A = this chain, B = another copy of it.
Amino acid sequence: MPLTSDISGVVPIAPTPFHPDGRIDEASLDRMVDFFEGAGVDGLTILGQLGEAGKLDHAEGTAIAKRVIGRTRLPVIVGVTAPGFAAMRSLAHEVMAMGAGGVMVAPPNTLRTDDQIVTYFRNAAEALGPDVPFVLQDYPLTFSVVMSPTVIRRIVTENPSCVMLKHEDWPGLEKITTLRGFEAEGSMRRIAILVGNGGLFLDFEAERGVDGSNTGYAFPEMLVDVVRLTKAGRRDEAHDLFDVHLPYLRYEQQQGPLGLAVRKYVFMRRGIFTSDAQRKPSQALSTQAREEVEYLLARLARTDGRARLPG
């Protein structure tokens, strides 16, 4: 079932588990899918940056997609960002044929002007074809591409297959309000807005009107609860839960390979992954960083028992 602009809730960005020798760890992959389902999420995003997509060759990437799609009934979004439209189209069509719900496209970091950005996504949408729903990723911190609200509106308006925005601009609260304002005044059709950026502002982003969360935080249970509580108007409870997670969440949300290392370590400590190995090039956690993570999780577990780790 293809992704539509009705998607809402929590769609985690999934890491890819490896054995210490670099092979893909399929048992852990299965466990992760089951874990996410158990946590109450509403979809999955795979083969993104956090999924070390760039370290997989084509056959490995499609094998992972096939396995994940085959194991869950949740909609699966597949990252297809590629240096050229031909490779993007090939991968997209392959995973859609397997049953993916849609794909995610990030802009290349050479784009500068508004027109360059709009043209890029017009070309991408044309390469993908009208039957491939896509998620527009807006992450200036990583991609160095700054999309103003009016540029997003132009992309959404030009391309009916753009059904969701992965919003991770920073700061970004006013941007969300502006986009929702465009929809309210009728100058932009409604799309789903799910927020990334490690979840660092999810508490307020949810209040500003986003539909959910689309990030790799290692405790998706919290994301699910905060989105749910906010939608139910239980503001203080949402913040109370969010705040108790924030010291660790902030630590995890460090940019680049370190953030990934922290998340894989916690997935291993939670029993989801057998190993926290990354494929090379990789960055391991230092002894001190591991101790810091353990310290933060121990403090978190005093209030949120789901963060209590075995042993």
Please give the residue numbers on chain A whose beta carbons come within 8 Å of chain B beta carbons, in ascending order.
Answer: 53-58, 60, 81-87, 89-90, 109-110, 112-116, 119, 123, 126, 140, 145-148, 150-151, 170-171, 173-174, 177, 200-201, 203-204, 208, 239, 242-243, 246-247, 250-251, 254-256, 258-259, 279-281, 286, 288-289, 292, 299
In the complex, are the beta carbons of A239 and B54 less than 8 A apart?
no
Instruction: A57-B90, A174-B258, A243-B246 are known; give 6 further A-B pairs, CB within 8 A.
Output: A173-B292, A177-B286, A203-B247, A243-B247, A243-B299, A246-B246
The complex places the Cα of A148 from the Cα of B292 at a distance, in Å, of 23
Q: Are B123 and A280 in contact (CB under 8 A)?
A: yes
Q: Are A86's CB and B173's CB within 8 A?
A: no
What is the CB-to-nearest-CB distance from A71 to chain B, in angstroms, rounded to a whole number?
Answer: 23
Docked CA distance A239–B247 (Å): 9
Given contacts A123-B280, A256-B171, contact A85 B246 (CB under 8 A): no
Q: A204-B292, A254-B171, A255-B171 are in contact. Are A85 and B147 (CB under 8 A)?
A: no
Complex interface: chain B residues within 8 A of A200 (CB): 250
Point out the residues of chain B lying under 8 angstroms from A110, CB to CB.
Answer: 109
A56 & B114 in contact (Cβ 8 Å cutoff): no
**Complex alpha-carbon distance, A259 and B251, angstroms:** 20
- Whether A281 touches B123, Cβ cut-off 8 Å, given contacts A86-B55, A246-B246, A254-B171, is yes
Q: Which residue of B lies closest to A248 (CB)?
A: B243
**What are some 20 contacts across the A-B interface (CB < 8 A)?**
A54-B82, A54-B85, A55-B84, A56-B86, A57-B87, A58-B90, A60-B86, A86-B279, A109-B110, A113-B151, A114-B148, A126-B280, A170-B254, A170-B255, A171-B258, A173-B292, A201-B250, A204-B292, A243-B299, A246-B246
Contacts of A89 in B (CB 8 A): 57
Instruction: Give the distance in Å from the alpha carbon of A197 to the alpha carbon of B254 in the complex.
Output: 12
Answer whether A55 and B85 are a contact pair too, CB < 8 Å, given A208-B288, A239-B299, A292-B204.
Answer: yes
Q: State A89–B112 Cα separation when bound (angstroms).
A: 29
A247: which of B55, B150, B246 is its contact (CB, 8 Å)?
B246
A109 and B112 contacting across the interface, CB-CB below 8 Å: no
| A283, chain B: closest CB distance, angstroms | 9
3 smallest beta-carbon distances between A and B, as pairs: A54-B84, A171-B254, A112-B146
| Chain B residues within 8 Å of A292, by CB | 173, 204
* Pair A174/B286 contact, Cβ less than 8 Å: yes
Give the chain B neighbours of A174 by CB distance below 8 A: 258, 286, 289
Which partner residue on chain B sits nearest A281 by CB separation?
B123
State whether A53 and B147 are in contact (beta carbons under 8 Å apart), knowing that A90-B58, A247-B246, A288-B208 are contacts in the complex. Answer: no
Report how far A200 CA is from B243 CA in the complex, Å. Answer: 14
> A255 to B53, alpha carbons, bound, how many Å?
29
Assembled-state Cα–Cα distance A142/B230 (Å): 33
Bound together, the chains give a CA A44 to CA B162 distance in angstroms of 41
